Chain A
Amino acid sequence: MSNGHTRAEHFPGPLHHPPLTSGEARKHHVPHEHHPKLQHHFDSMDQQLEASTLGMWVFLVTEIMFFGGLFMAYLLYRWANPTAFQEASAHLSKGWGAINTVVLIVSSLTMAMAVRSAQTSAKPKTQVMWLVLTMVFGAAFLGVKYVEYGQKFHDNLVPGPHFVWTGQYPAGAEIFYSLYFCMTGLHAIHMIIGLGIMTVIAIMAWRGSFDARYYTPVEVGGLYWHFVDIVWIFLFPLLYLIGAHYGAGH
């Protein structure tokens, strides 16, 4: 992570100079000017960005294990109830699932473009446009989930005392729908948090906080957004597409 320079080169310090008292004096003695967003414990903007990116990846690894527990439960119960899971999955709307997959992929593209617009010092308006587009598609995704959840409530497919299953495997189907609501629910919570993060970043972008030298919040927020997209890339086939050959209604 070191760029090869020693601390002393950047911060001559009291060994070479009398203690620095004011910001102006400090600026005068430091060999080259620093970006105002550069924290004192980093040598350079590049190093700071790399540290932030790495830190975000460490968080995303914990998120992989967070969702991983639910994928583990899915794997185990699907192994134990393969036919019941197919029967239960056949009742989900493949069309809504596919539309939401496309919506999230579009939002990932606009997110990547938002990061790029900050990297290339695009106008604040352009940066905000990409971020708002990302949020619009994120909200559209949640809108579709709202419709889907509504249908499940209407059809008595919410696990619990009112769960009704007319197929052959009511017990296995209830496990499937428990996992469906847990996995898509946790995913939807991540989407809502993502919308909050994007709101903050869009306000920062509107105020002109980001340019080619400093865009860490957009970059790190983007990593989160893409991660949530990746989770859905797996949820879509595993939940919606495994029942196509069961024969029952769609």
Chain B
Amino acid sequence: MSGHIASTNLYYAVFTALLVGTGLTYAAALVDFGFFNNVVMLAIAFTKMMLVMLFFMGVRWNSRLTWVVAGSGFFFLLIMFAITMSDYMTRGWVPGTLK
């Protein structure tokens, strides 16, 4: 149910974790991992997003229906990314199809 009251200690812990994540992503950006810099920064950003959604937004204590609705947003986002990029990245694979 949406009416869950979280403890202040939990909020402070999430807050601290978010600050640590920000410091980590900054520090990681200064190290050259090549392509994996992107993987690291997106993994940290995704983790921070999950912390905000689950605890600050309280999805952790929401109904399953809210989980499905929130998840559907990211599902459709991934469909948009995947299908659009599958178009652009494969142009020219078949001879004569590249504009």
Interface residues of A (CB under 8 A from B): 46, 49-50, 53-54, 57-58, 60-61, 64-65, 68-69, 71-72, 75-76, 79-80, 94, 98, 101-102, 105-106, 108-109, 111-113, 115-116, 119-120, 219, 222-223, 226-227, 229-230, 233-234, 236-238, 241-242, 244-245
Contact = CB atoms under 8 A, between A and B. Distances in A.
B53 A65 contact: no
A116 B11 contact: yes
B46 to A, nearest CB: 9
Contact of A105 (B18, B73, B80, B81): B18
Interface residues of B, number: 49
11 contacts: A46-B2, A49-B3, A60-B73, A65-B73, A69-B80, A75-B81, A94-B26, A108-B52, A116-B5, A219-B2, A241-B26
B45 A237 contact: yes
B90 to A, nearest CB: 13
B25 A68 contact: no
A105 B62 contact: no
Nearest to B78: A68
A111 B6 CA distance: 13
Interface in B36-75: 37-38, 41-42, 44-45, 48-49, 52-53, 55-58, 62-63, 65-66, 69-70, 72-74
B52 to A, nearest CB: 5
- Chain A interface main SS type: helix
Q: Which one of A75, A101, A105 has the greatest number of beta carbons of chain B within 10 Å?
A: A105
A145 to B, nearest CB: 17
Q: Which one of A54, A57, A68, A113 has the greatest number of beta carbons of chain B within 10 Å?
A: A57
Contact of B66 (A57, A76, A219, A222): A57
A101 B18 CA distance: 10
